Amino acid sequence: MKTIIEPFRIKAVEPIRMTTAAERREKLRGAHYNLFLLHSRDVMIDLLTDSGTGAMSAAQWAAMMQGDESYAGSPSYYRFHEAVHHLMPFRHIIPTHQGRAAEAILFSLLGGKGRHIPSNTHFDTTRGNIEATGARAHDLLIAEGRDPAADHPFKGNMDIARLREFMAEHGDNVPCVMLTITNNAGGGQPVSLENIRAVAEIAHEFGKPFFIDGCRFAENAWFIKQREPGQQGRSIGAIVRDCFSVADGMTMSAKKDAFANIGGWLALNDDALAERARARLIQTEGFPTYGGLAGRDLEAIAQGLHEIIDEDYLRYRIRSNEYLIERLDALGIPTVRPAGGHAVFIDARAWLPHIAPLQYPGQALACALYEMGGIRSCEIGTVMFGRQPDGTEQPAMMDLVRLAMPRRTYTQSHVDYVIEVFAELARIKNDLRGYEITHEPEMMRHFTCHFRPLE
């Protein structure tokens, strides 16, 4: 059969509140045109993030009842540990309340003024945690990854030649090398196993540890299985283990590829570093066998890790994004190609060329999607990345709008509705106007800044 159905049935539902365009216009003004400031009950299709928004399975809810809430040594921790260790065989696995907490601990130990940390593309919280210590975060993505239209099977790959130069230039001031799989900020594009191994090799050649930001490891492994020569006959679990076996540690948000609503971990092989990380953890998160989570959260993660590597799920997951991209393509809407793992990214700069990058074409599109159809998306462009450490403003590498797909949450008819809203928007796109920022905090402005539409 050609039709790839959702490989699940629905056992519990959440109602969606229908709203009118007039009502949404009002709500948008009230939220200062920042979609993060909306009440989610005023959103019909929420594609703001795929983080913590997935639907848990019956087996996960059942596992949660087994949650043991002991402060120390809970069996839930050991089940969590076993499930993680099965896929990511690190010596130390330290639970945290989410991915950014793992990043904060890691970079509090490895960051600091004068340090430089390369990655393919750092996610915004990773960058924030690095820069908060005075260190600098560098993105060394391959050129194809910076061109939304370029076709390449692994657009999340690190530029190996640039990494080598970078290591030679910054030498002792590089405390570690990172790699984000899949590359969220660059369109959810995968990194090949070959590239993961090459990055590990260079880091090790220079005597530096190599860490993976593994938030979407299962989607990345699915792409490796589909696209990398020699990987087709292998299980997702085996590919995942290969990816992590060359790393010295990882940060993880269990809100993505662990099907959990909250959680994360920091994993390390270095005993001394792990000891310091645990000391930090006790200060800021909790005792090392719960790390800011309830025992039931650890159970949900353990069960979620078994489910996420299911090939029927991954096939449906990635195919849903391809379906949306094919339909948008037919409407002449430029997207980041090929489809990424967790989201579809619209190239707002290319689609709305009459709006200059410093007038935030991505924000203009995101606001229009909400007003027209009650769809909440997220600008990933000059609003998010345009502000420089010295306070000046520059266009980001790209102005994208991300339609992030919560896991197992929306059905094909929701996606068809999204396509219809885009078709309507295509008719009026030349009337869309840019925005200016009227108020912004010092860091991570996109979450809370206020906008004003330009005349």
Considering the complex, what minimum distance in angstroms separates the CB of residue 125 from ligand F0G?
5
Interface with ligand F0G: number of residues (CB under 6 A) = 16
HEC assignment per residue over 274-315: HHHHHHHHHHHCCCCCCCCCCHHHHHHHHHHHHHHCCHHHHH
From candidates 118, 186, 249, 264, binder to ligand F0G by CB under 6 A? 264
Question: CA separation (Å) from 252 to 109, 165, 283, 358, 451?
Answer: 17, 28, 20, 33, 32
Is residue 125 part of the contact set for ligand F0G (CB under 6 A)? Answer: yes
Alpha helix (H) residue ranges in 356-395: 361-373, 382-385
Is residue 255 part of the contact set for ligand F0G (CB under 6 A)? Answer: yes
User: Is-contact 119 136, C-beta < 8 A?
Assistant: no
Which region, judged by CB under 6 A, interacts with ligand F0G, from 13-21, 92-100, 225-233, 384-392?
Answer: 92-100
Residue entry with tokens 């594609």: 47
DSSP per position, 192-251: -HHHHHHHHHHHHHTT--EEEE-TTHHHHHHHHHHHSTT-TTS-HHHHHHHHHHT-SEEE
Which region, judged by CB under 6 A, interacts with ligand F0G, from 97-105, 164-172, 389-397, 443-451?
Answer: 97-105
DSSP 428: H
From candidates 42, 139, 159, 213, binder to ligand F0G by CB under 6 A? 213
Is residue 335 part of the contact set for ligand F0G (CB under 6 A)? Answer: no
Considering the complex, what minimum distance in angstroms separates the CB of residue 229 from ligand F0G?
26
Considering the complex, what minimum distance in angstroms separates the CB of residue 233 from ligand F0G?
29
Interaction mask 377-406, ligand F0G, x per CB under 6 A: ---------------------------x--
Considering the complex, what minimum distance in angstroms separates the CB of residue 452 from ligand F0G?
25
Is residue 107 part of the contact set for ligand F0G (CB under 6 A)? Answer: no
Which region, judged by CB under 6 A, interacts with ligand F0G, from 93-101, 154-162, 169-177, 281-289?
Answer: 93-101
Is residue 126 part of the contact set for ligand F0G (CB under 6 A)? Answer: yes
Q: Quote the CA–CA distance of 227 and 234 in Å, as a whole number.
A: 12
Q: Quote the CA–CA distance of 74 and 214 in Å, as a whole number.
A: 25
The gap from C-alpha 429 to its chain's centroid, in whole angstroms, comes to 28
Interaction mask 17-56, ligand F0G, x per CB under 6 A: --------------------------------x-x-----
Is residue 123 part of the contact set for ligand F0G (CB under 6 A)? Answer: yes
Site for ligand F0G in 181-200 (CB under 6 A): 184
- Smallest Cα–Cα separation from 212: which of 88, 318, 336, 60? 88
Considering the complex, what minimum distance in angstroms separates the CB of residue 98 from ligand F0G?
3
Which region, judged by CB under 6 A, interacts with ligand F0G, from 118-126, 132-140, 233-241, 321-329?
Answer: 118-126
Treating both helix axes as pointing N-terminal to C-terminal, what angle do 160-170 and 193-205 enclose, rounded to 10 degrees? 20
Q: Quote the CA–CA distance of 381 and 402 in Å, as a whole number.
A: 10
Two structure tokens written together for 350: 């290319």
From candidates 54, 67, 95, 99, binder to ligand F0G by CB under 6 A? 99
DSSP per position, 148-182: TT---TTTT-B-HHHHHHHHHHHGGG---EEEESS
Q: Quote the CA–CA distance of 269 and 256 in Å, as a whole number.
A: 23
Compare residues 71 and 447 and give the one whose CB is closer to ligand F0G: 447
The 92-96 sheet, strands edge to edge: 92-96, 264-268, 249-253, 210-213, 177-180
Contacts of residue 13, Cβ cutoff 8 Å, sequence gap at least 6: none
Compare residues 97 and 327 and give the one whose CB is closer to ligand F0G: 97
Site for ligand F0G in 152-181 (CB under 6 A): 180
Compare residues 57 and 253 and give the one whose CB is closer to ligand F0G: 253
Compare residues 180 and 382 and give the one whose CB is closer to ligand F0G: 180
Q: Please give the single-letter amino acid code of residue 3.
A: T
Is residue 119 part of the contact set for ligand F0G (CB under 6 A)? Answer: no
Is residue 220 part of the contact set for ligand F0G (CB under 6 A)? Answer: no
DSSP per position, 65-110: TT----SSS-HHHHHHHHHHHHHS--SEEEEESSHHHHHHHHHHHH
Compare residues 48 and 355 and give the one whose CB is closer to ligand F0G: 48
Is residue 121 part of the contact set for ligand F0G (CB under 6 A)? Answer: no
Compare residues 327 and 342 and give the one whose CB is closer to ligand F0G: 342
Two structure tokens written together for 341: 């793992």
User: Is-contact 32 448, C-beta < 8 A?
Assistant: no
Is residue 253 part of the contact set for ligand F0G (CB under 6 A)? Answer: yes
Which region, judged by CB under 6 A, interacts with ligand F0G, from 121-129, 197-205, 328-336, 388-396?
Answer: 121-129
Per CB under 6 A, residues contacting ligand F0G are 49, 51, 98-100, 123, 125-126, 180, 184, 213, 215, 253, 255, 264, 404
